[in-house]
Each structure stands twice: as structure tokens, then as C-alpha cells.
Structure 1
Amino acid sequence: MNAPTFASAPANPSMQTSRAARTRLVLAAAVGNALEFYDFIVYAFFALTIGKLFFPVDDPVGQLLLAVASFGVGFFTRPIGGLLIGMYADRAGRKKAMLLTLGLMALGTAMIAVAPTYAQAGIAAPIILVIARLIQGFSAGGEVGASTTLLLEQAPANRRGFYASWQFSSQGLSALAGALTGVALTATLTTAQLESWGWRVPFFIGTAIVPVGWWLRRTMEEAPPQNVAAAPKAPKIPLVTVLREHGRAVLNGLGLTIGGTSAHFIIVFYLSIYGVKTLGLPSWTSMLSGCVSGAILFIVAPIGGYLSDRIGRNKLAQTTRILLMLAIWPAFALLNKSPNATTLLAVVTVLSIVHSLNVGPTGAMLGELFPRSVRATGAAIVYSIGVAIFGGFAQFFVTSLIVITKSVMAPAWYVIGCGVLSVIAVACMRERSQEMLD
């Protein structure tokens, strides 16, 4: 039987409103994710300064490792946040959950902005920093599940991929903004000014964005299902239902997330570090590389979402994943053969375009795996676990592989291995782009 088309399908009530209202919906859903990745970039940019100010270790390398570790602890609370906030979104509504995640993210960012240094507060300083990162990780874990499902459910039936793609597009814009903020501060302030107060500026900027995001989310409308009477209510414990009745969907979602996350962290973040640390390129190439990949993700991810609505999500996801797997090894080989800034930027550009097309349909695919009653819980669990393990520990895995194999091509093999899991997962998923969501 052929899948139904949307030629005469009625639009959701919320989509019968003005273009301004639809734009507000997208902005409201994307703002929390944008704040998360903005903080991600600026924290990484000032890791050396933070390590020096918050960790009383004489060895500079030890300070950096502790700073990176304090950043990484946020990944441990992502699955917990995904679970608890996801269940809250299914039972209380997406809008309430999104307000909660934005408030928690704001709290964590503000704590970092005003945190006393070790010289001012002693051991309390790194403790405050770690608590702030734990709060941010908890918030980020629940953010994607709640906001992506809202975009998916409120979108016109034939534009779900495009609407959900803005969740990931916002990551690119915030990465670009974070990199540019770091470059601007480094270029205009002295080392003493950066260590005294300059490193706090990006976090104050992030906190200042929150009132706008709060207003957008507070005033947006969350339209109910078209048939309220027939809409299933969320179970008392959505997690039990997800694991008991949708185990296959969880495995498929994890496979999909693993492939995208591993590629994202290698292309967007690790390649620039690889160029500087392994290939000996100048440090300015690192920030420029981050700006290029962020800008491409912002522009191209919605194109991927749009195409998935037209040609099918599975076809686009499989094609671009295989292309990325075929390109990643030659890309690293070319970098090692011609280690210069031009090669690095060319490689980042090509890989980022393919990767951005691939993640375009991901948000819709994750949400379409689960029914409305447990959608936020299911999407949040698979995304937060996949990102926490295969994203948060990506650099650890890759560095370990380089040490074990003695090969600088290890990052490529990591992306290829994770990509195989993603290809298998998508092959097991039903194409939903031309079906009604619920």
C-alpha cells in the first residue's frame, strides 16, 4: 500500500497563523540549543585561562586537563536530564519543559560568569564551576527532546524535516558566534585583562540572551493534537513504556545519533585541534576552521531538512552518511600529505557540507520513531546518551586509538566505524516523511 501524501492534509492549527508566529516558534525552540553550543565553544576557547584561574596545579598541562575535565562532566548529566525532562515534557507539555531547560541553562551560565577564582574562594571555586557544568549538562540533555518534538508536532505535515532541522542549524550559528566572540576578545584585550575579567564577558553575553529566549518561549502557543479526544495520554512513567514497547526504536535512534554525533565532533571540533596539535599549523587556523564549519552547519542543515521532506529522510540520510564515510579517510590522508591551512579549510568545508546535509533530517527522524505520548522521552534518551558517549568522549576515543594503533588516521576510522552503525540503523527504520505523524 502506498503511503498517504499531504496534498489535502489539513495543517495544524498553529500553522494557520501568521509567518511571524511560525518564525517565533522556530526561534523559541532553537534558542536553548543555541545557548548550549555557544557556551560549549567559549568554554573550550578559554580552557587555558579557566584552568589557570580555577585549578591550583603548578603544571600548565595539568591545569588544562582539569579545565577540560570540568567541561566534560556536563556530559555525565545529559542522560539524566534527557530522561527526567523528557518525561516531564510528555506529561506536562513541551512548552513547560522548554521553559525549565532554558532556566537551568541560564543558571549554569550565570554561575560560571560570576564564579570566584581559586585565589578568591579556594577550593569552593572549582566546586562551583563543576556544579555549573553539571546543571548545564542536565539542561542540555532535556532540551533537544522537548524542543525538537515541539517543532515536529507543530510543523505543517509536509515540512516536518525543515522545521526540525533548525534545532541543529542553531548549533552552527551559536558555534560561529562563540568563535567570533573569543577571537574578538583575544584580539582586543591584553592577557592580564583576559585573566582579570575578559574571560567572563562571553558568559555574561550568554546570560543576557536568556530574557529574549524566555519571552519567546513564554508567549509561543503549543497547539494541542487535532483530535484531542483520540490523543493518547502520557503514561505515568514514560521511560517504562519506551523501553518495554519501543526497544527497537531506541536502538535505531541510538545508531542514528552515534553516526551523526561522531562525525559532528570530529569535523566541527577535532579537525581544528588536529591541525594545530598534530600537523603543527598556526593556532589561528583552529578558530577559522570552527567559524567555517559553524557557518556551513547554520546554512546547509535546513537545506537537508527541506530535501528530506521532498525525497525522503532515509534516502538522504543513507546517501550522505555513505559519502561521508568514503570521504573521511582520503580527507585525513590529504591533510597529512599537505599539512597547510588551505588544505585544512578545504577539507573542513567539504566534510561540513556533507555532514550538514546528513543532520538536516535527523531531528525529524528521531521524533518520528516514537508516538506522541512518549515522543519527548524517547527522543531525549537516545540523543542524550548518544551525544554523551560518542560525542563527549570522542576526543578520548580518538586519542586512545592514535596511541594504540600508532596511526594518525585513527580519527577517520572512528567516524567510519560509527557510520556503519548509523547505516544499519537507518536501514532498519521505516520511511515516515510521507506519513501522518500521529
Structure 2
Amino acid sequence: MQETQAERSIDVSAEGKDQQQTSHGSLSADMNMRRRLWGIFSGSIGNMLEYYDWFIYSALEIYFVKGFFPDGDQTVALLKSAAVFAIGFLVRPIGAWILGIYADRRGRKSALLVSVSMMCFGSLMIGVTPTYQSIGIAAPVILLIARVLQGLSLGGEGGSAAAYLSETAPKGRRGFYSSFLYTTISLGQLLAMATLVLLQQFFLTSTQLQSWGWRIPFLIGALIALVGIVLRRNMEETESFAKHVKTSRKGGAIREAMRHKKACVMVFGLTLGGSVANYTFAAYMQKFLINSAGMDRSTASLISVLSLIGFTVIQPVFGALSDSIGRRPLLLTFGMVGTFGTIPFFTFLAGIKNPFIVFALVMAALVIVAMYSSVSTITKAELFPVEVRSFGLAVPYAISVSLFSGTVEYIALWTKKIGHENWFFWYVSLCIFFSLICYLWMPETKTASLIDLD
């Protein structure tokens, strides 16, 4: 039987509709992926700018410390400045508490915007504050206030950014995309160190840096933080939060978090050793090379910059690997090597003068640390449901970081001052060992992720 004209018209019409639907579906998928990538980019870059502002303090501390704390020798002045650095950490749980609740009720985007604005203002305060010689005790007081403001900012940043990236990343690639949170933390630190090296090598003398040049990176930090504000204003809220926004506003944050007590304990434990190791090998290393290994400032800074480049590049590699083999194998490797390798590492490093060997050793240590940092964000996020993810992740993380990571530099300098620097090496090893126990206890979050239930 021959097909009628009407039947042929119907077939053509149906075929056209199918093609149109396929085209619209493909376009919608492309647009959705572009939105995901833009969200990941904006959240990550904003995080990088915040950590630049945070780490520039540590990078330039050896130059501005006498301007705020003029009495005593270099180690004493550094101890006072390290105390201010530690206080900035101690207030992070407060920032995590306030902005964690805000992120779970008002959205990840809103909390991230508040966070970067606070960091911007803190950097501006430090950059324009006169020294002790000009305004007396007001100088270190203003420095302390600025660091408290930045500590509150960073406390809220961690949970909100981790929730945002993990919820935005596509399933099966969450380890890879979430690793960019620590990648941008490393980039922020690298940018801070690179700024210092450029000033040291090409623009300013050591005297100029100590007199006034140290202010330049802080003012740059305030300026580039404005870029983070613009980027985050144009971000879209995550689909997970938008879908559960009504549920997320019910009940108190503490009551909701208490329903996930085991997850909170695991976040605290797996953070403890990893963050202590990160701040020891990535942030404090520059001062160890100068103050303990006897290297000059320029060489130590250059080694720190070059090793941080490698540390940054390796993050997404391990993140992608975790999408295949899981998060626990990487965490367990870090835990075992860190526990038993830290003491011999520092003991050996203190006696090495060859900068090439020093760089190789520091780089090897950071590769091990990257096995934690690359999967830290996604592992913690996968432990919580959407309605309490930011608060539940941020608060135990911030408490752990505040109590242990924020005091790394102070403990290291104090043990050196009393003549028992090896105690610090034992301290780092014990912190990593505690986390190793948690890695053995925790489930493989890749296969039991609560993000799948959003």
C-alpha cells in the first residue's frame, strides 16, 4: 500500500520534532556544562585570590615584622607576628559557624561573596596601617584586627567553596574538579611567594622591602580581591541548593549537624594531620630554610616558589586518580609516609646546603602532601547531605585548622628558640598519625557519596 500524502507529512513533522528536541537537548546540555565550568572557575579563582591575601602575610612577615614589633631579635619578633597569625586561625571556627549557617540558608554564592569582601578589606587595612614608630601600640592592634577579619573570612570560605565546587562538579569527575579548590589555595600561596620573589629580584632592595615595599603586595591583594567580588556576583547558585532550599531552612544548624556526628568527627580527624602537613611543608618551609637550614632569603623564597608550582600542578592529577581508585588509597599513602617520614626528612634537610637537593626534597614532600590535599575537599563534602553540607563541613574543619594548623609556625619557632626543634618534627608526625587512624576508620566516600542523594 502506498503511503498517503498526509501520512508522509506526519512522518516528516515527527522527524522534524525529534531533530528539534535532540538539538534543544544537546544545546541545553552544552549550556549546562558551560554554567558548571563557569561556576567552578569563578569559585576557584575567588578562592585563589582570598588565599593570596591570607598567605602574603606569611610570605612578607620577615620584612614587616620589625615595623610592628620592633623589640627583640628576629626570632622573638617572628614569634610575636606568628602569634597574630595564629589568632587569625583561632577565629576561623567563628567565621565557619556564621557563614556556614548563612551558606546553608541563603546560598553558597551569597556566603562566598561576603567572604571575599571581608578578605579584601582586611588586606587594605594591613597595606595602609602606619608602623609602630608612627602610631605606637595602635599599629599591632590594627594588624590584629585585620587578621581577625581575614580569619573570619577564611573560616567561612572553606565550607562554602567546598560545598559549591562539589555540588557543581559532574558525577564521576568530582575528585578532579574539587581538587581545584586546593589547586587555587596553592596558586594563591604561589602568587604571594612569586610577588615577593619578583620584588626581591627585579624591583626593590632588601632595605626598601623592609622600609615600605612590603605594603605593595597587600595593596595588590585588596585590588585583585575586587576581581573575586565581580566574579562571584555573576555566579549561579548550585542546583543542589536551589532544589533543597526550603528543606535547608528548616531546623537549627547545630541540631542538623548533630545528626551527622560521625561525619563531623571524621572531618576533624582527617583535616588535622593533612592541614598541619600542608602548612608545615608549604607555608613554614620558607622560614625553616632561612632560620634553621641557614639559606639566604632569596634562595629560600625561590625554592618555595618552584616547589609550590609542582605542588599546584599535581593536585588535579591526584584528584582525577581518585575518581578511578577512590579517595582512601591516596589518604592512606599520605598518612603512612607522613607519619614515618617527617622526622628523618627534617633532620636530613637541616644539614643540606645544596639548593638543588633541597628543592628535590621539598618537592618530594609536597607530592606526598598533595595526596591529602587533592581529595580533601570532595571527601569531606561527600560525608554530608545538602541541607547541612556547608556548616557540617566548615565548623569541624575550621576548629581542627585553628587548633593545630594555625599554631604550626608558633610551635616550630618556639621549639627552635628553646633548643629542641626536633620536638616540632615529632609533633607533625603525631598529627599525621592521628589522621591516619581516621583514614583507616572512614568509608570510601566515592562509592557512598551523599552528594548522589541531592
Partners of 1:182 and 1:351 in 2: CA distance: 23
Deviates further, 137-146 or 124-133:
124-133
Distance 2:246 2:339 in 1: 41
Paired with 1:357 and 1:408, the residues of 2 have a C-alpha distance of 26
* 1:89 maps to 2:103: yes
| Displacement after TM superposition at 1:51 (Å) | 2.6
Question: Counterpart of 2:444?
Answer: 431
User: Among the aligned pairs, what percent are the same residue?
Assistant: 35
Q: 2:209 aligns with which of 187, 194, 210?
A: 194
Is the contact between residue 107 and residue 241 of structure 2 (CA under 8 Å) also seen in structure 1? no
Change (3 A) 1:407 1:15: farther
Secondary structure class of the residue paired with 2:243: coil
Q: Report if aligned partners of 2:123, 2:218 keep a CA contact under 8 Å in 1.
A: yes
Query: Would you say 1:240 and 2:271 are equivalent positions?
Result: no
Superimposed CA distance per residue, residues 166-191 of structure 1 (whole angstroms, 9 cap, x where no aligned partner): 11111111211111111222332245
SS at match of 1:158: coil
Instruction: Confirm or deny that 1:365 pairs with 2:384.
Output: no
Cα distance per residue 1:269-319 (max 9 Å; x no partner): 333322322232333332123213321221111112111111111122112
How far off is 1:223 after superposition? 3.2
Structure 2 vs 1, CA of residues 426 and 54 (structure 1 numbering), >3 Å: closer, same or farther? same
> For the structure 1 residues 39 and 307, does the alpha-carbon distance in structure 2 shift closer, same or farther, using more than 3 Å as the test?
same
Consecutive unaligned residues in structure 2, runs of 5 or more: 1-24
Cα deviation code 1:36-71 (max 9, x no counterpart): 332333222332442332345366555443333333
Aligned pair partner of 1:101 in 103, 115, 125 = 115
- Residue 143 of structure 2 corresponds to residue 124 of structure 1: no
Matched, 1:204 2:219: yes
Contact 2:108 2:163 in 1 (8 A): yes
Are 2:102 and 1:53 equivalent residues in the alignment?
no
In the alignment, does 2:148 pair up with 1:134?
yes
Please give the alpha-carbon distance, in whole angstroms, between the structure 1 residues aligned to 2:245 and 2:209: 58
Are the aligned partners of 1:335 and 1:344 in contact in 2 as well (CA < 8 Å)?
yes
Q: Is 1:105–1:136's contact at 8 Å kept on the other side of the alignment?
A: yes
| Compared CA separation, residues 262 and 26, structure 1 to 2 (3 A) | same
What's the counterpart of residue 329 of structure 2? 315
- Larger relative helix fraction: 2
Letter in 2 for 1:113: G
Shift of residue 214, structure 1, vs aligned partner: 1.6
Q: CA 1:14–1:254 in structure 2 vs 1: closer, same or farther (change >3 Å)?
A: farther
Is the 8 Å Cα contact of residues 333 and 371 (structure 2) preserved in structure 1? no
Distance in 2 separating the partners of 1:124 and 1:407: 34
- Residue matched to 2:290: 276
Decide whether the 8 Å contact of 1:266 with 1:411 is kept in 2: no
User: Unaligned stretches of 5+ in structure 1?
Assistant: 1-10
Residue identity matched to 1:51: V
| 1:371 CA displacement | 1.3
Separation in structure 2 between the aligned mates of residue 402 and residue 119 of structure 1, nearest angstrom: 29
1:228 aligned partner: 243
SS at match of 1:250: helix
Aligned residues between the structures: 425
- Tell me how far apart the structure 2 counterparts of residues 326 and 59 of structure 1 sit (CA, whole Å): 34
C-alpha distance in structure 2 between counterparts of 1:203 and 1:275, whole Å = 24
| 1:90–1:377 CA contact under 8 A, matched in 2 | yes
* SS, match of residue 223 in structure 2: helix
- Which residue of 2 is the match for residue 65 of structure 1? 79
- Cα distance change, pair 308–56 in 1 and its aligned pair in 2 (3 A): same
Determine if the alignment matches structure 1 residue 163 to structure 2 residue 173.
no
Give the TM-score taking structure 1 as reference length. Answer: 0.88
Kept in 2, the 8 Å contact 1:32–1:101? The answer is: no
Q: CA deviation at 1:251?
A: 1.2
The code of the aligned residue for 1:177 comes to L
Residue identity matched to 1:232: T
Does residue 115 (structure 1) correspond to residue 132 (structure 2)? The answer is no
Report the CA distance shift for 1:33/1:293 in structure 2 as closer, same or farther (over 3 A).
farther
Partner of 1:413: 426
- Residue matched to 1:5: none
Whether contact under 8 Å (1:181, 1:202) holds in the other structure is yes
Using the TM superposition, give the Cα deviation of residue 416 of structure 1 relative to its aligned residue in structure 2, in angstroms: 2.2
8 A Cα contact 1:327 1:351, kept in partner: no
Contact 2:167–2:239 (Cα < 8 Å) also in 1: no
For 1:425 and 1:362, locate their aligned partners in 2 and report how far apart those are by CA, in whole Å.
13
Post-superposition CA distance 1:216-271 (Å, at most 9, x none): 211111133399379732444212321x2222111111110011111112211333
Structure 1 residues 70-98: Cα deviation after superposition (integer angstroms, max 9, x where no partner): 33321121110011111110111101000
Q: CA RMSD in A?
A: 2.7
The answer as to whether partners of 1:161 and 1:309 remain within 8 angstroms in 2 is yes
Deviation for aligned residue 1:16: 5.0
Distance 1:90 1:15, change over 3 A: farther
Q: Work out which of the two has the higher radius of gyration on C-alpha atoms and give 1 or 2.
A: 2
1:213 to 221, 225, 228: 228
> Are 2:364 and 1:350 aligned?
yes
Taking the aligned partners of 1:111 and 1:422, their CA distance within structure 2 comes to: 37
Deviates more, 1:166-175 or 1:180-189: 180-189
Aligned amino acid, residue 116 of structure 2: L
Once the two structures are overlaid, the 10-residue window that deviates more, 102-111 or 53-62, is: 53-62
Asked if the contact 1:41/1:175 (under 8 Å) is kept, the reply is yes
Q: Does the CA-based 8 Å contact 1:118-1:125 persist in structure 2?
A: yes
Which shifted more, 393-402 or 311-320? 393-402
Match of 1:78 among 92, 113, 116: 92
